[in-house]
Amino acid sequence: MDREALLADLLSNKGTSSLLSGQLPIKVVMDNQYIPPLITGAEEDMGTSFTSLGHVVDSVLSDQIKTITLVGSAGSGKTTALEKFIVDWAKGDHCQKFSHVFLFDLKDLSCLDSLYSLKTLILQNRHRFDPESMALVLQKPENVMFVFDTLDLYKHSLDRSAHTLCSDPSMPTTISTLVNSLLHGTLLNGATFLVATRPTDSLKFLEGFKVELLGFSKPQREAYFGQFFTDPHVANIAWQNMERTLGFYDFGSSPCFCWTVCSVYKYQLDAGERLPETITEICVNAMAQIVASLALDEVRARELVLALGRVAAHCCIDPYSTCSKERIASSGLKQLLNAPVLIDSLLRVDGVLESDQFVLSFHTQLMQELLLAVSFLLDKTIAKNATELLNTHEGHVKYLHLYLAGLLNSSQRRPLESLLGTFNDEQLMDFKCWLKTSSQKTLESHYKEKHLKAFRLLHQSQNDMLVKEIVTPSARIGISYAGLGLVDCVALNYIVKCLGGMEQFNLYSANNLTEEGTDILIPAMGLSQKIMLSNSSLSAGSVAHIARALREGITKELDLSHTKLGDENLKVLCSGLRACKLHKLKMLACRLTEACCGDLSSVLTSSTSQLSVLDLMFNELGDQGLMQLCQALKNPFCKLQELKLRSCQLTAESMEALSRALCCGQSELRILDLTENRIGDIGAEHLSQALQYPHCNLQRLTLSATALTRRCCHGLAKALRSDHCSLVELDLSVNELGSEGALQLCKALRKPGCPLEKLNLTRCELTKVVFTEFGLILRSGSSQLKSLSLALNRVGDEGMKSLWNAIADPCCLLEDLSIEMTELTDVSTGDLCASLRASRSLKSLDLSNNVLSDASVTALVQVVQDSPFLQEVNLKYNDFSEDVMEIMDQCGKIKY
């Protein structure tokens, strides 16, 4: 068909409006209101995107590809995209290789019963087509394009094997044979086809290139709202509300849905009412407008909705299900089908209404399931109770639960109740009971996906009191909610706001938490005492929103460990850290370097910062980075009490600066962990000097695996003997102190008033003489030691005798003792049991990884059971057989 004739034919089309914008597609195009939805290539070409259908055709057509299939969901704008393509072709904008383009609606074609030749079909469908043009079509099919719409509504199969195909354009045949012969290339071979459809099984019979119509992106939605509302300010208010409450749903990209939202918003704004907050409110208001336009009295309006609900109940069982004339008659709907608003807005008709051969289905699943929910809550004809309804439609519905929850809210169902009368109280109460019972059971479990589903339902209800009734103290809402979609972010945020706060907001391992999702969660994070984001992937935008949540909220603890945060993102985070209520910040293995320490120092020295615990383990801070932090420690505004710097590439070079900071009189630091840094004896000496100053507040010092030798012990011992030392815990494990070094420490421990209560000398190359000395110290009456680890020092049974005697002594205060892997055997069992029986202080004993056998089990179990003081004995990884497992099972205090 030539350009002018085809364009004129489109412009004269008086058919029903498409789902897009509630207007005729050609009107949208010709009024320059068209915003092209996103188009992307098929799976084998993922990553290919196109600006328009004309771009698709120009880019992909070749001798091998003659068919392009456009796939999109209901309301995604397929029909309008096709007509926009044809208008652009007619205006000469693209695809000028085609001399003729023919547009056919496959739904209409499938209703034709007579026999047609291709010539007849073209001439009858487009009456302004002359014989001379027909000759050109037949002579040069490569210059011809057929545009087929609504393949999903085509009645016949596209399976080539089910037809005897034809090749003669003059031969009359069935529509089914004609369409198949065209698409499979036996008729008018060389012609090009552009086919639009919803997802359907018929797609498997079409070769060529497939593209997907994705609908509107967020900026396109903004542009659409800008066109719908003439006032830019109003357009922005409406669009912002859409994005905040609905833009995260998968149907939010549908142009049809955007038109529905705009129409409802305009009605609400014109009436001076607030804008809807949920999908239930939007769809209820849209349905109310449809029902109101019919001008029915309450009784007839109620009958209509119940009839539609019965049809919906049938169609919901199968997404491809339709409703026959007989079922329509039994539903009571037949007499109302002539109302155009029903056909345009809710129902689609396959066939002629006046004939005996027609079926109905719904344009969208959204409205179909809303009608099912409403009809259930109006009376008991759909189902007697919620359990029956939900069981019947289990696996077939997507929005039914949401609507039922939303309709529990009287304000959300009010627009329909004003037209249909009040909903059934018994049905409402039945679903409320179902929701409470199922949600409470779900929230007592540890299943994240079930939790989120319950939250989505509660969000739809928009009922603070109902949330508080359901989310009781027994709810396990501290589990990780990683993997949140935007709809989950909105629901979770709503729940936390209803509860007024959350002890722990756990997003552990949130690898897909987007900037938009984080923005939504700002209020919830701000209301949480602790935020867990460890092992998550965070963009700079997400970090900025977290910083805002910290500034505005009450959060006291934040865990960002293993998030690959980096220096630049930390700089963004610091904007929130300088003025917040945060007390504890964990950033283990966050790829931080020396470059971040200036920002951290500025946070620590801020007069508004309350940060008291900072965990920077496994970051490459280096000596220069620590020196910057030391400057902060000397600032009177710095409130830091605990600093963890394990494996931060530190050496003795930075220990002198740290020592000066500790004894400057301003530092409040009480806990310091320098594990796995090669500070050596020189670095330890600097720290030992600080411990002797009266202004040093350090109480716990961890120097595990820091390349120490016996030479550091003299300074440490001197510090422990100092009158000003406040150290109560010292960890020197995994260092080569040897017996000589350890004995120097023992001399300090003998001094009355030595403050040390916990000492860890695991794997320090100790010998029997050191164990003997510790036995004497523990019995001396002057030692304050309550926890002692001498593990991984292989002294054997003889080395232990002094310790056994000490444990039994009433002067011994020891509560925790670890002698793991010291080569203890059954020879010691008698002395060990005697000392445990006599001990009045020991609570925990670690005997793991020794050489105890079955022979010791009975005696050990007996003494542990009898002891009123022992709480735990670890016997793991000894030489026990399965024969004694049952004996150890009898004592809950024993780990094995």
pLDDT at position 20: 36
Q: Answer whether residue 524 is part of any domain.
A: no
Segment holding 696, helix H or strand E: none
What's the CATH number where 112 sits?
Answer: 3.40.50.300
861-884 pLDDT tens trace: 999 999 999 999 999 999 999 999
On whether both 182 and 305 belong to a single domain, the answer is: no
Please state whether beta strands 358-362 and 347-351 pair in parallel, antiparallel, or not at all (unpaired): antiparallel
Based on the domain organization, do 79 and 194 belong to the same domain? Answer: yes
**pLDDT given for residue 600 in this prediction:** 97
Residues 60 and 138 grouped into a single domain: yes
Higher-confidence residue: 132 or 210?
Answer: 210
342 and 256: one domain? no
Classified as helix, coil or strand, 723 is coil
Q: Provide the domain limits for residue 403.
A: 281-448
- Cβ neighbors of 570 (< 8 A, separation 6 or more) are 587, 590, 592, 596, 599, 600
Residue 23 and residue 102 in one domain: yes
How many independent structural domains does the chain possess?
3
Residues near 747 by beta carbon (within 8 Å), at least 6 away in sequence: 717
Is the Cβ–Cβ distance between 816 and 844 less than 8 Å? yes
User: Residue 862 has what pLDDT?
Assistant: 96
* 324 and 177 in a common domain: no
Question: What is the mean pLDDT of the segment spanning 582-602?
Answer: 97
> For residue 832, is it within any domain?
no
What is the reported pLDDT for 341? 61
Region 413-430 average pLDDT: 96
pLDDT band at residue 1 under the 50/70/90 scheme: very low
- Determine the Cα–Cα distance for residues 737 and 579; give it in Å rounded to an integer: 45
Rounded mean pLDDT, 436-444: 95
Q: Are residues 269 and 285 in the same domain?
A: no
Q: Which of 27-41, 236-250, 421-435, 515-529 has the lowest mean pLDDT?
A: 27-41
Last residue of a domain, one of 168, 193, 215: 215
Distance of CA 287 to the CA centre of its chain: 32
CA distances from 558 to 283, 334, 491, 581 (A): 40, 62, 22, 11
Helix H or strand E segment including 776: helix 768-779
Does residue 337 belong to any structural domain of this protein?
yes
* Over residues 1-9, mean pLDDT: 63
User: Does residue 87 fall inside a structural domain?
Assistant: yes
Q: What is the pLDDT of residue 730?
A: 98
pLDDT for 41 equals 80
**The pLDDT of residue 340:** 59
Above 50 in pLDDT, residue 21?
Answer: no
Q: Is residue 19 part of a domain?
A: yes
Torsion sign over Cα 39, 41, 47, 49? negative
Same domain, 239 and 120: no
What average pLDDT is seen over the chain? Answer: 90
435 within domain boundaries: yes
Best mean pLDDT range from 342-356, 360-374, 699-713:
699-713
For the chain, the C-alpha Rg in angstroms (whole number) is 39
Average pLDDT over residues 594-603: 97
432 and 308 in one domain? Answer: yes
* Across 506-515, average pLDDT: 89
What does each C-alpha distance from 14 to 27, 122, 544, 871 come to in angstroms?
Answer: 11, 20, 53, 86
Q: Considering only 107-121, 234-248, 632-646, which range has the smallest mean pLDDT?
A: 107-121
- State the number of CA atoms in the 13 A half-sphere of 314 facing the CB: 19
Question: Given its phi and psi angles, is residue 762 left (phi above 0), alpha (psi -120 to 50 degrees) or beta?
Answer: beta
Q: What is the DSSP letter of 308?
A: H
Residue 163 confidence (pLDDT): 82
- 267 and 165 in a common domain: no
Q: What are phi and psi of 97, to 5 degrees?
A: -70, -20
Q: How high is the pLDDT of residue 397?
A: 92
**Quick one: average pLDDT of 807-820?**
97
Residues 107 and 209 in one domain: yes
Instruction: Give the CA distances from residue 85 to residues 82, 152, 590, in Å, rounded to whole numbers and listed in that order.
Output: 5, 20, 51
Average pLDDT value for residue range 755-783: 96
In sequence order, what DSSP letters do the residues of 430-494 get, joined into one string?
HHHHHHHHHHHHHHTS--HHHHHHHHHHHHHHT-HHHHHHHS-TT--TTS---S--HHHHHHHHH
Q: What is the mean pLDDT of residues 31-53?
A: 69
Residue 584 resides in a domain: no
pLDDT the model gives residue 53: 85
For 298-346, write each residue's pLDDT tens digit. 998 998 899 889 888 888 876 555 656 566 666 556 555 656 566 666 7
Are residues 47 and 141 part of one domain?
Answer: yes
Question: What number of other Cβ atoms are within 10 A of residue 417's Cβ?
Answer: 17
Higher-confidence position of 160 and 561: 561
- Asked if the model's pLDDT at residue 18 lies above 50, the reply is no
The better pLDDT of the pair 718, 109 is held by: 718
Q: Is residue 724 part of a domain?
A: no
Amino acid 860: pLDDT:
96
User: Tens digit of pLDDT for each residue in 171-198?
Assistant: 999 999 999 999 999 999 999 999 999 9
Write down which residue in 418, 433, 448 finishes a domain.
448
Q: Rounded to two decimals, what is the model's pTM?
A: 0.82
What one-character DSSP code corresponds to residue 206?
A: -
